[in-house]
Amino acid sequence: MDRTLLFLSTLCFFGGFCYAVYALGAKRHRSSWVNLAVMGVGFVLQSVFLYHLGQFRGRCPITDVVDIFIFLSWSMMLLYFLLGPPFRVSLLGMFTAPLVFVFQSVALLLPIEGGGATGPIDPWLEMHASVSLVAYGAFALAFVAGVMYLVQDRQLKKHHLKTLFYNLPPINLLGKSIFRLLAIGFLLLSAGIASAFAMKESPSAGHLVMTLAVWAIYGLIVLFQVWRGLGSRRMAVNAIWAFFLPLVTLWVLSRH
C-alpha cells in the first residue's frame, strides 16, 4: 500500500516541531498561524491516509502495530485540535509533534501486513478498539502536558526563566488540563471496555487483564485526585510514568 500521504504527514509534524524550536531559540515564539497550519495539514494528511488504510483493511484500521501507531497519532492530534484551545495550551502542539513524529516514523519503517477483512465485522469490536485507542491518545496528551508542567515547575524553582517559560500556559491551568485529559481518557476507556463485553467473541483473558490494568491505574490517579487532591506536580509525574503501561499494552496486544 502506498504510504506517501503518511510520509508527508510525518514531515509536516517534524517541520512544525523544528519551526517552534527555531522560534524559541530566536526568543520570538508566539502562537503562530504558520505552525498551526503546518500541523493542520499534517492532521488532514493523516486522516486521508487512515481513510485509505481503512478501505484497504475493509474495517477500522486497527489490526496491527502499524495501524495502532498511526491511529494513536491521529487520536492525539484530534484531541489536540479539539481540546487545546479551550485548555489554553497552544504550545502543547510543539511538545506533541515529536511524539507523533516518532510514532509515525516507526509506522513507516514497519511493513503493512495482511489485507482486507475476510469475515463479518463485529461493530462492538470496532467500537472497543477505536474508542480505547482514542482514550490512549488522551493519555498520551496528558503525558505531554505532564512534561510541560515539570519543565515549567523546574524553571520556577531554579528562578531561571527561559524563553520557553513565557510561552507555556500558566502552570495552574496546565495542571487542570492534565487532570481533564486523564479524566476524558478514563471515561473513554471505560466505554471501550464496556463495549468489549457486547462483542460476539469474548476478548482473551490476557487482552482483558492488560486493558483492565491500564483502566485501574488511570482510575486510581483520577480517583485520588478527586478524593485527596494529589497536587498538580504529583499528578504530572503520574501522567508521565503511567503512559508507559498503555504503550507496553499496545505493543503486546498488537503482536497477537
Largest Cα separation within the chain, whole Å, is: 61
Alpha carbons 207 and 186: distance in angstroms, whole number: 17
- In the predicted model, is pLDDT for residue 10 greater than 90? yes
Q: How confident is the model at residue 97 (pLDDT cuts 50, 70, 90)?
A: confident
Instruction: Report residue 30 as a C-alpha cell.
Output: 508566539
Work out the average pLDDT over 67-90. 78
Look up cell 516541531; give the residue. Answer: 17
Cα distances (angstroms) measured from residue 94 to each of 15, 52, 231, 250: 10, 27, 25, 24
Residue 13 amino acid letter:
F
Phi/psi zone of residue 161: left (φ > 0), alpha (ψ -120 to 50 degrees), beta?
Answer: beta
Task: Name the residue with higher pLDDT: 46 or 54.
Answer: 46
- In the predicted model, is pLDDT for residue 217 greater than 90? yes
Q: How confident is the model at residue 153 (pLDDT cuts 50, 70, 90)?
A: confident
pTM: 0.82
The proportion of the chain whose per-residue pLDDT surpasses 70, expressed as a percent, equals: 81
- In the predicted model, is pLDDT for residue 203 greater than 60? yes
For 8, the domain range is: 4-114+121-254
165: buried, middle or exposed (CB in 10 Å: 19+, 13-18, 0-12)? middle
Any idea which of 41-45, 72-76, 118-122 has the lowest mean pLDDT? 118-122
Cα distances (angstroms) measured from residue 74 to each of 15, 106, 121, 180: 17, 14, 22, 19
Contact present, 213 and 245 (Cβ < 8 Å): yes
Total structural domains within the chain? 1
For residue 161, the 8-state DSSP code is: -
- In the predicted model, is pLDDT for residue 179 greater than 60? yes
Give residue 104's pLDDT: 92
Give residue 182's pLDDT: 94
Give residue 47's pLDDT: 94
Give residue 41's pLDDT: 92
Contacts for 2-8: CB closer than 8 Å, 24+ residues apart: 3/49, 3/108, 3/112, 5/45, 5/48, 5/49, 5/52, 6/45, 6/46, 6/49, 6/70, 6/104, 6/107, 6/108, 7/108, 8/45
Q: In this predicted model, what pLDDT tens digit does every residue of 137-148 receive, in sequence order?
A: 999 989 988 888
Average pLDDT across the chain, whole number: 81
